[in-house]
A and B are shown apart, each in its own frame.
Chain A
Amino acid sequence: QKEVEQNSGPLSVPEGAIASLNCTYSDRGSQSFFWYRQYSGKSPELIMSIYSNGDKEDGRFTAQLNKASQYVSLLIRDSQPSDSATYLCAVTGQSNDKLIFGTGTRLQVFP
């Protein structure tokens, strides 16, 4: 079992819709959770961090964490073509010593 799992996609949504990206992790003791966006040929860019159960909103982005289910998600409201990118979920382990990444979900927003 991979430590951090994401559906590779592509996830295709129309402009203006809500895009929902999901991630599961295997280490029950994980404490910190992050979402990065990576455009083709560029480096990952931090979008959101979340540390406790529930929702955290930042502009059009909402991160959701459920530690009991070992599940973290990212919602993008009013999706724009400029949101088309690969979204990487990252989790720190129980000992908080390193950041483990999923392989990413490719999002395509079409006009």
Chain B
Amino acid sequence: KAGVTQTPRYLIKTRGQQVTLSCSPISGHRSVSWYQQTPGQGLQFLFEYFSETQRNKGNFPGRFSGRQFSNSRSEMNVSTLELGDSALYLCASSSTGRDTEAFFGQGTRLTVV
């Protein structure tokens, strides 16, 4: 059974640009959650999608957005990149997203210069 796949693994962008990250969940999983991980803040919840609907959102500015497709694949977008957006972005896949185990992808390392 394939795991969670995130692409790309590494990205270098300049300030002001935008970026799109992709996450393919485990087959059969309908929930995808996104997290930002930085050394100082740990894992911060961005948002969760279930059946193409954003079900929950963390405390991030509107520059961070996402969507989910009918095949459960999800994308997150960050517009007008800032230096502080440099982080490891992780997505987690679970069957329903509630009370069920979540499995992480390898992450996308974003560096903003």
Give every chain B residue within 8 A of A92 (Cβ-Cβ): 98-99
Give the number of chain B interface residues (Cβ < 8 Å): 24
CB contacts under 8 Å to A, within B40-70, are 41-43, 45, 48, 55-56, 58
B103 pairs with A46, CB closer than 8 A: yes
Complex Cα distance A96/B97, Å?
Answer: 8
Give every chain A residue within 8 A of B56 (Cβ-Cβ): 97-98
Most A Cβ at <10 Å: residue of B56, B102, B106: B102
B99 pairs with A96, CB closer than 8 A: yes
Complex Cα distance A103/B98, Å?
Answer: 21
Interface string of A75-89 (1 = CB under 8 A from B): 000000000000010
In chain A, what residue has the closest Cβ to B55?
A: A97
Interface string of B87-113 (1 = CB under 8 A from A): 010101000011111111111000000
Min distance, Cβ B15 to any Cβ of chain A, angstroms: 25
B104 pairs with A103, CB closer than 8 A: no
Cβ contact of A44, chosen from B41, B90, B97, B98, cutoff 8 A: B90
Asked if B33 is an interface residue, CB under 8 A from chain A, the answer is yes
Min distance, Cβ B98 to any Cβ of chain A, angstroms: 4
Give every chain A residue within 8 A of B42 (Cβ-Cβ): 88, 101-104
Give every chain A residue within 8 A of B97 (Cβ-Cβ): 97
Give every chain B residue within 8 A of A88 (Cβ-Cβ): 42-43
In chain B, what residue has the closest Cβ to A98?
A: B56
Complex Cα distance A34/B99, Å?
Answer: 10
B43 pairs with A96, CB closer than 8 A: no
A residues contacting B by CB (< 8 A) are: 31-32, 34, 36, 42-46, 49, 51, 88, 90, 92, 96-104
B residues contacting A by CB (< 8 A) are: 33, 35, 41-43, 45, 48, 55-56, 58, 88, 90, 92, 97-107
